[in-house]
């Protein structure tokens, strides 16, 4: 794989209408649930990024017939909860933590042994957060001595439902255990310290599997049911829209409409935070698509101010913080984030890598163990290293809208994991971006 570099010229504004690619979280789950359902599932708006394709290839390797993707359309011939077959070798999850963690829950309930592996970045990410509760359910699952992939999962184990309180707010861990709960005897009940994205719960209900919600932090499933094939319309990904929400907010003269964006209330932390900073974002034409709330988002330039980010919004914007750090760099005053230690174990240590990049561009950015303090100022140009992290690469590209000179971003190959065509869409909206091989 080539290692592309983004070169972005300073200034400009974002205009017009744009539709970012389909939601990554929902695309992953649509393939998983469609494969485990009885009957046919038709998916439209599927994200054809490398992460979601890794999930699709894994189910093909386990005997599921999948047509597509073709212009975002995928047709899955479900095999039922117990119809998967042993793959010929390890399942490679690439760079996708969602695939690794959710698949471990599904595979813990299968009759066959399997190995889950991934790229150099994924095999450094912590997996004990799923292996330990799965072992409590009766799974036979092993990792490296550091608690990282590859994961070796033994088949033929009878799982038993558990009551589990998550030590951290994590939709991936919650989803992993709910999926294992489909194969378990009795009830699997998960309680979170704070609400996280609920795509798994919504999609289980969309596939006619009963889900019990107890307040806004506890969810339960009972094993032994069945999933029924359905139609899934994947909305545009708010995590991808976030770069353009920030870009239009910080660039004078901007007026941009982002179409058909998923606005699930467990995902709109980025909008809430930007509005607290003074952003002008309006939701137009709210509607439902496949059980998920969507809307068109109109965002216009507005002067931003630094804030102390409320703790309750942190889990609802965890993937959007690299872009929000750019907003903070362009805001008047100081922005303080705490309670976000999860950012240190994403595709990179996003706190440290963003702090390094912002500092290189002349911004005062002081990392803390669980967050960062950013004082708004003038962005210079220069070179930053994304450390192979797609969200960091795209965040610094958007920062050029307010930079004094060009920004050069290294190691951008992984942008294609979540946002294929980012440079083209951004260029069409008004960003002066070039991609160099």
Burial 176-204 (b: 16+ CB within 10 A, else e): bbbbbbbbbeeebbbebebbbbbbbbbbb
Q: What is the pLDDT of residues 206-218, one digit of tens each?
A: 999 999 999 989 9
Choices 3.40.30.10, 3.65.10.10, 3.30.110.30, 3.30.450.40: CATH for 24-233: 3.65.10.10
Q: How far is CA 22 from CA 45, 47, 241, in A?
A: 5, 5, 10
Q: Which residue has the tokens 């440290």?
A: 352
pLDDT in tens, 250-307: 999 999 999 999 999 999 999 999 999 999 999 999 998 877 999 999 999 999 999 9
Question: Is the Cβ–Cβ distance between 32 and 175 less than 8 Å?
Answer: no
Residue 336 pLDDT more than 60?
yes
CA distance 76 to 155: 24
- In percent, the amount of the chain with pLDDT more than 90 equals 94
Nearest residue to 24 (alpha-carbon basis) of 1, 2, 55, 3: 55
Contact 243, 415 (CB under 8 A): no
* Two tokens, residue 158: 């009878």
Q: Other CB atoms closer than 10 Å to residue 17's CB: what's the count?
A: 12
Q: What is the pLDDT of residue 2?
A: 59
Pairing, β 159-160 against β 212-214? unpaired
Q: What is the pLDDT of residue 347?
A: 83
319 classed as catalytic: yes
Whether the per-residue pLDDT at 153 is higher than 90: the answer is yes
**CATH code 3.40.50.300 for 5-22+236-436:** no
Dihedral over Cα of 134, 138, 140, 143: its sign: positive
Whether the predicted pLDDT of 7 surpasses 70: yes
Measure Cα distances from 348 to 117, 133, 305, 344, 345 in Å: 18, 25, 27, 7, 6
Mean pLDDT of 332-338: 98
**Same fold: 5-22+236-436 with 24-233:** yes
Catalytic residue among 198, 319, 385, 389: 319
- CB 172 within 8 Å of CB 99: no
User: Does residue 141 carry a pLDDT above 60?
Assistant: yes
346 pLDDT tier (thresholds 50, 70, 90) = confident
pLDDT digits (tens, 9 = 90+) for 179-236: 999 999 999 999 999 999 999 999 999 999 999 999 989 999 999 999 999 999 999 9
Q: Domain segments of the chain: what residues? A: 5-22+236-436, 24-233
pLDDT at 386 over 90: yes
Strand order in the sheet with 73-79: 65-70, 73-79, 38-44, 231-233
Work out the burial of residue 406: count CB atoms within 10 Å of its CB; fewer than 13 is exposed, 13-18 middle, 19 or more buried.
middle
Identify which has the larger pLDDT, 290 or 436: 436
Residue 1 has pLDDT above 60, yes or no: no
Dist. CA 122–CA 369, nearest whole Å: 22
Identify the bridge partners of residue 6 per DSSP, sorted by sequence position. Answer: 409, 435
CB 296 within 8 A of CB 259: yes
* 129-150 mean pLDDT: 97
What's the CA gap between 147 and 100, in Å, rounded? 13
Handedness of CA 190, 195, 196, 197 (dihedral sign): positive
pLDDT value for 311: 95
Backbone torsions φ then ψ of 18, nearest 5 degrees: -150, 150
């Amino acid at each position: 794989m080539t290692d592309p570099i983004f070169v972005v010229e300073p200034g400009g504004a974002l205009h017009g209408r744009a539709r970012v690619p389909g939601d990554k979280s929902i695309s992953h789950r649509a393939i998983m649930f469609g494969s485990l359902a009885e009957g046919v599932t038709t998916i439209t708006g599927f994200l054809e990024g490398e992460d979601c394709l890794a999930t699709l290839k894994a189910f093909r390797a386990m005997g599921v017939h999948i047509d597509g993707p073709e212009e975002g359309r995928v047709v899955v011939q479900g095999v039922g909860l117990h119809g998967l077959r042993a793959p010929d070798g390890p399942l490679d999850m690439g760079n996708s933590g969602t695939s690794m963690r959710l698949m471990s829950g599904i595979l813990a309930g299968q009759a066959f042994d399997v190995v889950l592996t991934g790229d150099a970045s994924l095999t450094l990410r912590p997996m004990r957060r799923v292996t330990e509760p799965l072992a409590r359910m009766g799974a036979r699952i092993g990792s490296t001595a550091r608690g990282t992939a590859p994961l070796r999962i033994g088949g033929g184990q009878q799982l038993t439902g558990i009551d589990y309180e998550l030590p951290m707010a994590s939709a991936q861990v919650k989803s992993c255990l709910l999926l294992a709960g489909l194969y378990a005897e009795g009830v699997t009940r998960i309680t979170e310290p704070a609400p996280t994205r609920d795509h798994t719960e919504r999609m289980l209900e969309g596939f006619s599997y009963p889900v019990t919600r107890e307040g806004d932090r506890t969810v339960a499933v009972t094993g032994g049911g069945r999933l029924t094939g359905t139609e899934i319309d994947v909305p545009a990904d708010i995590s991808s829209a976030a770069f353009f929400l920030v870009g239009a907010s910080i660039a004078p003269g901007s007026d941009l409409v982002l179409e058909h964006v998923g606005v699930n209330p467990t995902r709109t932390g980025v909008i809430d935070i930007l509005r607290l900073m003074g952003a002008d974002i309006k939701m137009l034409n709210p509607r439902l698509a496949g059980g998920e709330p969507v809307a068109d988002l109109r965002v216009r330039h507005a002067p931003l101010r630094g804030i102390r980010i409320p703790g309750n919004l942190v889990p609802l914007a965890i993937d959007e913080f690299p872009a929000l750090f750019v907003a903070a760099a362009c805001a008047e005053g100081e922005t303080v984030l705490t309670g976000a230690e999860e950012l240190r174990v994403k595709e990179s240590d996003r706190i440290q890598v963003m702090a390094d990049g912002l500092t290189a561009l002349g911004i005062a950015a002081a990392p803390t163990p669980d967050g960062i303090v950013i004082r708004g100022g003038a962005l210079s140009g220069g070179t930053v290293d994304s450390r192979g992290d797609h969200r960091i690469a795209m965040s610094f590209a958007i920062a050029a809208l307010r930079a004094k000179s060009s920004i050069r971003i290294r190691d951008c190959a992984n942008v294609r994991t979540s946002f294929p065509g980012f440079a083209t869409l951004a260029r069409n909206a008004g960003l002066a971006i070039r991609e160099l091989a």
